[in-house]
């Protein structure tokens, strides 16, 4: 049994802060990222690509560590059973954006506009090398 749960369940349980079976406090293995905006020009935006500002990442070289890393947008819904109430949209960081460490990410389905300004989770996987 490969030790990796399906992403949706993993994300849901992470965000619900359920004390996992066994001892140990909650661990954070993801980097906070602000969803700044969709990639855009002055008058038009491309909702396929999101601009993220990762916490503590201030230049292009630092941002390159996060290329390919998976990003999760987690949101709550009213409907569904308790364990299904947290939902995720997964994406990946594709490239840098500018010189100050912002990155572009693309998601399986485009993020909703209400996510702008919210915190996304940039996971530390997949690890390279």
Partner 1 sequence: LVTNMVESKAKASTARARIAHKLARYVRATPVHLTSLNGSANPSTSHLTLGGAPKRRLRNSQNTWYPADDEKPFIKRASKQPRASTGRASVRPGSVVILLSGNNRGRRVVVLKRLASGNLLVTGPHSVNGVSLSRVNPAYVLSTSTSVSLDGVTANVDDSFFKRGKRFTKNELKNASEHRLKVAAEGKAHEQKWREELKTVQKSVDSALLANIKKVDHLRGYLGTRFTLSNTTRPHELRF
Residue numbers at the binding site for partner 1 (CB under 8 A): 1-5, 10, 20-22, 24-31, 56-57, 62-63, 65-66, 123-129
Nearer to partner 1, 107 or 121 (CB): 121
- Rounded to a whole number of angstroms, the minimum distance from the CB of residue 24 to partner 1 is 5
CB 73 within 8 A of CB 50: no
Nearer to partner 1, 103 or 111 (CB): 103
- Rounded to a whole number of angstroms, the minimum distance from the CB of residue 13 to partner 1 is 9
How far is residue 66 CA from its own chain's centroid?
11
Nearer to partner 1, 23 or 117 (CB): 23
Q: Is the peptide bond before 72 cis (omega within 30 degrees of 0)?
A: no
110: CB partners within 8 A, 6+ apart:
47, 48
Dihedral angle at the C-alpha atoms of 119, 53, 111, 118, nearest 10 degrees? Answer: 20
- Rounded to a whole number of angstroms, the minimum distance from the CB of residue 127 to partner 1 is 6
CB 13 within 8 A of CB 95: no
Nearer to partner 1, 11 or 38 (CB): 11
- Rounded to a whole number of angstroms, the minimum distance from the CB of residue 59 to partner 1 is 10
């Amino acid at each position: 049994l490969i030790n990796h749960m399906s992403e949706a369940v993993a994300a849901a349980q992470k965000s619900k802060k359920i004390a996992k079976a066994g001892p140990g406090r909650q661990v954070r293995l993801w980097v906070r990222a602000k969803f700044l905006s969709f990639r855009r020009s002055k008058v038009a935006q491309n909702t396929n690509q999101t601009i993220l500002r990762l916490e503590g990442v201030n230049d292009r070289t630092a941002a390159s560590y996060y290329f390919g890393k998976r990003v999760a947008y987690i949101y709550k819904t009213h409907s569904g059973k308790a364990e299904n109430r947290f939902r995720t949209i997964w994406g990946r960081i594709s490239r840098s954006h500018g010189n100050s460490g912002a990155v572009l990410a693309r998601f399986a389905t485009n993020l909703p506009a209400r996510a702008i300004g919210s915190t996304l989770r940039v996971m530390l996987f997949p690890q390279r090398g």
